[in-house]
């Protein structure tokens, strides 16, 4: 995807305006190309619900606790 791939910080209202500008710039560049293209904006599903990925809390800094000690990630 290279230049056509973008994303923004989901939970920061100040990130919206720069993200819109970046998508608009990508779209303008693609309109100028003869073949067009695809803009990709992607997120992992847990980014919408959790503060961190589940493995960050359980395996941070090389930790390897037994399964019964695993903790669910904090939710937003």
Instruction: Tell me: do 21 and 38 sit in the same domain.
Output: yes
Instruction: Tell me: do 56 and 21 sit in the same domain.
Output: no
Instruction: Tell me: do 25 and 15 sit in the same domain.
Output: yes
Torsions phi, psi of 33, nearest 5? -90, 145
Judge whether residue 1 has pLDDT over 70.
Answer: no
pLDDT category at 51 given cuts 50, 70, 90 is confident
Instruction: Tell me: do 48 and 25 sit in the same domain.
Output: no
pLDDT category at 23 given cuts 50, 70, 90 is very high
Instruction: Tell me: do 35 and 50 sit in the same domain.
Output: no
- Output 31-39 pairs: Cβ under 8 A, ≥24 positions apart: 37/4, 38/1, 38/4, 39/4, 39/5, 39/6
Mean pLDDT of 66-74: 91
Instruction: Tell me: do 51 and 36 sit in the same domain.
Output: no
How many separate domains does the chain show?
2
Q: Measuring CA to CA, which residue among 33, 74, 29, 32 is closest to residue 51?
A: 74
- Give the residue numbers spanning the domain of 34: 1-43
Mean pLDDT of 35-62: 87
Q: Mean pLDDT, the chain, as a whole number?
A: 89
Instruction: Tell me: do 38 and 4 sit in the same domain.
Output: yes
């Amino acid at each position: 995807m290279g230049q056509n791939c973008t994303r923004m910080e989901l939970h920061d209202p100040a990130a919206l305006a720069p993200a819109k500008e970046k998508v608009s710039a990508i779209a303008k560049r693609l309109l100028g190309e003869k073949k067009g293209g695809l803009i990709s904006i992607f997120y992992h599903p847990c980014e919408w619900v959790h503060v961190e990925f589940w493995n960050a809390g359980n395996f941070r800094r090389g930790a390897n606790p037994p399964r019964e000690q695993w903790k669910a990630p904090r939710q937003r």
